[in-house]
Chain A
Amino acid sequence: MTGDDQKLDVVLEICGISPLPQDKEIMLKNFVTAREQAALLWGVAEARYEEPGLIFSAKL
């Protein structure tokens, strides 16, 4: 198993999700992409000083 495989298994166990064997390949791809997406957004340092509204409204 790769490191990502192991991390995915931990996440699935914590969340109580039991995918079928045939789902694992796509879920691993999704897991890796999800972590890359999150890293990309964490890279936007300017956004760290924003305070999001509790309920987003369309008022800009």
Chain B
Amino acid sequence: MSEKYLTIADAAVAMRDGTTTSVAITQEILDRTATLNPALGAYVEVTADAALEQAAAADAALADGIDHGPLQGIPLAIKDIIAMREAPTTANSRVLDPEWGKGTDAPVVARLRAAGAVFVGKATTSEFALGLPDPDKGFPIPHNPWNVAHTPAGSSSGTGVAVSAGLALGGLGTDTGGSVRGPASVNGHTGLKVTFGRVPKSGVVPLGFSLDSIGPMARSAYDCALLLEVMAGYDASDPNAADVPVPKYSELLSGDIAGLEIGLPIPYFFEHEKLDPEMKEAVLGAVKQLVDLGARSEEFELPYANEAKDANHIIMVAEAYAYHRNDLVNRWTDYGYATRPTLARGAFYTAGDVAQAQRFRMMWSRLVARAFEKYDVMITPSAPAPAEKASEMTVSRRLLTPNYTGHWNLTGLPAVAVPVGFSTAGLPLSMQVIGKPFAEATVLKVADALQRITDWHLAVPPVEALVAAA
């Protein structure tokens, strides 16, 4: 297997046993990016020179016996709503002030930099982490490496595409209603939405301030653990950052899930009329594999899941509207065709509607907490269906389609998307594992246990052939 498809963990070992170097891995990724990025649209800006300098510094440090840990020399993609000092932050929008975050690192990027990571560039995002790609605005249009006619989902599309297509070994996404887990799900890798407050989100263009989180995206759950143990922890610059100890997540992925109690919430997540049968079958098959490893599972009724989806939407667009209100009045046409009507939805809810959504949120959180008195994790499909055709995506359709991820932003809980197979059309299928507050280690352990006995997360998309045929 080529270096470009090594996991972070494998690359870290290879750099230390002399098999390869960060410069070699980074150069290969940059070459591959130069070839494929025009077709895949993973990056808004590639910071090649800086990346090679960082890689050389990582190699030199290792040669001098300075080892900052497994992320040293690892090429990462950074979603373009997160400040990174080598390149501007655009949020893929003509509206954001070009000076926003200029020349600075978000705390999460600074932590990765201190750990010796290499930054390949700024990865494509849906505009302000919300809209659909707009060919008229001059930003790359991301495509799914498994089938370029299908969506790579959003909003962390670029990071998802980069990880899947071998244009980075991992990266950062943000998740307000599923924007880490969606791209991980449809691009066939692992993505973790962290507990609200687990990773400081200062230095990130906000979408829904009470829902936003920054999460690791990588091929494996183990790689996500390696990223998270550097990313997580209190920072005073974020008023919502949680002052909770950060475990060494990677050391907690033992593979032992004997006695783990799994709850499968019904009816919404497993009996919805729009749930794809192949998705359901693949998720239940993965649950059976976990049971074979010693876990126990049972269905239980979790009411109001349909309402929870809408509560997440209402709170998200209300908070986003508050951020964008003046620009919507004064710069309507500078926003993309799909972004502006989506943001303007925030004007369609009354103050009472938003208060009721918040009251619902508390009730839903209590229902979920009650379920977690019995279960260690809940498992659902990550999405009702594999990646849809990009040409069929519309703003209205997105609103009316069921969603399995926003529920856990509403409660602030950690949830990881894990590959569990492929549809007959060759598109990735994905399972979501949800945990208690700050139980990232538990959800990652479940994902890792599955990945020790399956290799869905290591599958490589036939991207060169697809791009050539497109």
Residues of A within 8 A of B (CB): 11-12, 15-20, 22-23, 26-27, 29-31, 33-35, 37-38, 40-44, 46-53, 55-60
Given contact pairs A19-B341, A37-B314, A52-B358, A60 touches B196 in the complex (Cβ within 8 A): no
Are A58 and B196 CB-contacts (below 8 A) given A38-B350, A40-B306? yes
Cβ B307 vs Cβ A41 within 8 A: yes
Whether the pair B197, A58 counts as a contact (CB closer than 8 A) is yes
Asked if B255 is at the interface of the complex by the 8 Å CB criterion, the answer is: no
B411 close to chain A: CB less than 8 A: yes
Residues of B within 8 A of A35 (CB): 348
Check A30–B329 contact: CB distance below 8 A: no
With a CB–CB cut-off of 8 A, which chain A residues contact B328?
A: 15, 17
Contacting pair B329 A17 (CB below 8 A): yes
Q: A17-B328, A26-B395 are known contacts. Are A60 and B436 too (CB-CB below 8 A)?
A: yes
Residue numbers of B with Cβ under 8 A of A are 195-198, 210, 239-240, 242, 304, 306-307, 310-311, 313-314, 325, 328-329, 332-333, 337, 340-342, 344-345, 347-350, 353, 355-363, 365-366, 368-369, 372, 394-396, 399-400, 411-413, 436-438
The chain A residue with its CB closest to the CB of B317 is A34
Determine whether the beta carbon of B356 is less than 8 Å from that of A19: no
Asked if B359 and A50 sit within 8 Å, CB to CB, the answer is: yes
Cα–Cα distance between A60 and B413 once the two chains are bound (Å)? 9
Q: Please judge, given known A-B contacts A20-B333, A38-B350, whether A58 and B438 are in contact too, CB under 8 Å.
A: yes
Could you say which of A20, A30, A31, A44 contacts B304, with CB atoms under 8 Å apart? Answer: A44
A49 to B363, CA, bound (A): 9
Query: Which of A17, A37, A51 has the most chain B CB atoms closer than 10 A to its own CB?
Result: A37
Contact between A11 and B358, CB atoms less than 8 A apart: no
Please report whether the interface of chain B is mostly helix, strand, loop or mixed according to DSSP. Answer: helix
6 examples of A-B residue contacts, CB within 8 angstroms: A31-B345, A44-B307, A47-B363, A52-B361, A58-B438, A60-B368
B372 proximity list for chain A (CB < 8 A): 60
Residues B349 and A50 in contact, CB atoms below 8 Å apart: no
Find out whether the CB atom of A19 lies under 8 angstroms from the CB atom of B344: yes
CA distance A38 to B5 in the complex (A): 46
Bound Cα distance A7, B412 (Å): 34
Q: Which residues of B contact A33 (CB under 8 A)?
A: 396, 399-400
A42 to B310 Cα, complex, angstroms = 11
Partner of B348, one of A18, A34, A46: A34
Closest to B364 in A: A47
Inter-chain contacts of B340 with A (CB < 8 A): 19, 23
- With both beta carbons as reference points, the residue of chain B lying nearest to A36 in the complex is identified as B310
Q: How far is the CA of A12 from the CA of B328 in the complex (A)?
A: 11
Given the complex, which residues of A lie within 8 Å of B369, measured CB to CB?
60
Asked whether A46 and B356 contact (CB < 8 A) given A17-B347, A30-B345, A58-B413, the answer is no
Tell me, in angstroms, the Cα distance from A37 to B363 when the chains sit together.
Answer: 17
A48 to B330 Cα, complex, angstroms: 37
User: In the bound complex, do residue B344 and residue A47 qualify as a contact, i.e. CB atoms below 8 Å apart?
Assistant: no
CB of A48 within 8 A of CB of B341, answer: no
Bound-state Cα–Cα, A17 to B329, Å:
5
